[in-house]
Amino acid sequence: MKKCKSLEEVRAEIDSIDTQIVELIAKRNDYIKQAASFKESVEEVKSQERIDYIMQRVRQKSIELNMNPNMIEELFKIMINEMVETEIAEFRNGGNF
């Protein structure tokens, strides 16, 4: 991690990271849309097994990185819930990403 010399520099680094986070979420969403074409049903889109796996994986990673796993889980819950809805819409639209 870069050692910043001013508050402005810290904020610039945070802004840069925020941009990267949004870009990565958008990229994830694009893959979610692609996934719809491989699914057979809405129930498969809503796969609780997959959601549980993701939550376990991100909680473990957050612990490894000395982050609050509850915060990470809450962020992922919001993201996954919204992306499941996106994937359902894509599935019903024929999965034509």
**In the chain, where the domains are located:** 8-92
Model pLDDT for residues 65-89, shown as the tens digit of each residue: 999 999 999 999 999 999 999 999 9
Which superfamily, per CATH, for 8-92?
Chorismate mutase (1.20.59.10)
- Tell me the two tokens of residue 18: 């925020």
pLDDT at residue 96, as a whole number: 59
Q: Which of 5-19, 41-55, 83-97 has the lowest mean pLDDT?
A: 83-97
CB 88 within 8 A of CB 45: yes
DSSP state letters, 71-89: HHHHHHHHHHHHHHHHHHH
| pTM metric for this prediction | 0.85
Model pLDDT for residues 3-35, shown as the tens digit of each residue: 999 999 999 999 999 999 999 999 999 999 999
